[in-house]
């Protein structure tokens, strides 16, 4: 499974600086409108439960809130770039979080879920791309760069 299979342009957002909970709420709402997600409340509970276990701010300004749920039919993703820091989003290296990729997968889609997490983090290890994405507030351009891995 590749990123283009789970992320469409309409689920890429540009947000102003805001609190973590508000941002997660907005992205959860966005995902819950897809055919893949069948239960908004379950998604919200799942995402916040996972954040309670440990912050998904993995460092380098990136956060990947993710969850596996019975009410999700197949993996789906939403992406957001924040014009300022996401307030209250703790990260492993202490850097402020600017890029957020929320992933929801089905309960049994264990391998797909992990592969998707791995492919997104692998792509964002490229510092040039990461910086370009952080500074791009045009959703089309963001989407294109994320899909191709090329900075334009």
Partner 1 sequence: MNSVLFILGFGILGGLVGGVLFKKLHIPQVIGYIVIGLAVGATGFNLIKIEDIQALEPFNLFALGIIGFLVGGELKLDSFRDYGGQFAAILLGEGLAAFVLVGLPVGLIVYFVCHNIPVAFATGIVFGAIASATDPASTISVLWEYRSLGVLTTSLTAIVALDDALAMTLYGVGTGVAQILTSGHGSILGGLAKVSMELLGAVALGALMGVILVGVLRYVLEPERCLAFALGLILLVISLAVTIHADVILAAMTLGFVLTNVTPRKSEELFKVMRGFSIPIYVLFFVLVGARINLAGMPWWLWAIVGVYVLGRSFGKMFGAYVGAKMTGSPDVVCRYLGTGLFAQGGVAIGLSIMASHHLSGIQLTETMALGDAIICGVATTTFIVQLIGPPMVKWAITKADEAGRDITKEDIIAGWTAKDAMKEDVDTISEHELLGSIINRFSEKDNLFYLVANQAGQMVGGLSLETLKSVLIDQESWRWLVASDVMCSLDHRVTEQSPLHAVLETMDQYRLERMPVVKTDGSDVPVGLIDMADLKHRVDREILRRRRSDHV
Where along the sequence are the contacts to partner 1 (CB under 8 A)?
50, 53-54, 56, 58-59, 66, 68, 92, 107-108, 110-111, 113-115, 117-118, 121-122, 125
Catalytic residue among 41, 49, 66, 144: 66
Which C-beta is closer to partner 1: that of 59 or that of 149?
59
> With contact defined as beta carbons under 8 Å apart, do 86 and 96 qualify?
yes
Which C-beta is closer to partner 1: that of 59 or that of 84?
59
Which C-beta is closer to partner 1: that of 125 or that of 140?
125
User: Minimal distance in Å, beta carbon 81 to partner 1?
Assistant: 20
Helix (H), strand (E) counts: the chain = 6, 6
C-alpha closest to that of 34 among 5, 14, 55: 5
For helices 127-134 and 139-148, the axis angle rounded to 10 degrees is 170
Give, as one character, the DSSP assignment of residue 97: P
49 in active site: no
User: Minimal distance in Å, beta carbon 111 to partner 1?
Assistant: 5
User: In sequence order, which residues have a C-beta less than 8 Å from that of residue 26 and are 6 or more positions away?
Assistant: 13, 15, 80
| 103 bridge partner residues | 66, 77
Which C-beta is closer to partner 1: that of 56 or that of 136?
56
The residues annotated with a catalytic role in the active site are 66
């Amino acid at each position: 499974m590749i990123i283009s299979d789970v992320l469409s342009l309409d689920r890429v957002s540009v947000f102003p600086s805001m609190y973590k909970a508000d941002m997660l709420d907005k992205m959860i709402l966005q995902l819950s409108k897809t055919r893949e997600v069948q239960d908004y409340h379950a998604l919200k509970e799942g995402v916040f439960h996972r954040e309670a276990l440990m912050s998904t701010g993995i460092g380098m300004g990136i956060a990947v809130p993710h969850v596996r749920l019975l009410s999700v039919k197949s993996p789906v993703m939403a992406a957001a770039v924040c014009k300022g820091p996401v307030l209250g989003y703790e990260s492993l290296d202490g850097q402020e979080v600017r890029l957020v990729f929320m992933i929801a997968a089905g309960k049994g889609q264990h391998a797909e879920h992990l592969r998707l997490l791995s492919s997104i983090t692998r792509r964002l290890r490229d510092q040039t791309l990461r910086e370009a994405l952080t500074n791009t507030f045009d959703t089309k351009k963001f989407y294109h760069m994320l899909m191709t891995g090329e900075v334009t």
